[in-house]
């Protein structure tokens, strides 16, 4: 029974998938934040030129 417990890798696989999902979420959040900052500056320039 103890040998079977140490050979079971199903929990490790779930943790790996969780870490992968977290990494993807961090990358997406970072990309959206950078894109939002760039868009805000572009719209500010456009608004200033229209004034």
Whether the pTM exceeds 0.75: the reply is no
Q: What is the pLDDT of residue 32?
A: 94
Select the more confidently predicted residue: 35 or 14. Answer: 35
Q: What is the pLDDT of residue 23?
A: 97
Q: What is the pLDDT of residue 7?
A: 76
- pLDDT of 5 over the 90 cut: no
Q: What is the pLDDT of residue 34?
A: 92
Task: Report residue 14 as tokens.
Answer: 């779930």
31/29 Cα distance (integer angstroms): 5
């Amino acid at each position: 029974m103890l040998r079977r417990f140490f050979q079971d890798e199903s929990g490790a696989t779930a943790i790996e998938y969780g870490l992968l999902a977290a990494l993807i979420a961090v990358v997406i959040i970072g990309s959206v934040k950078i894109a939002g900052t760039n868009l805000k500056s572009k719209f500010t320039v456009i608004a200033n030129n229209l004034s």
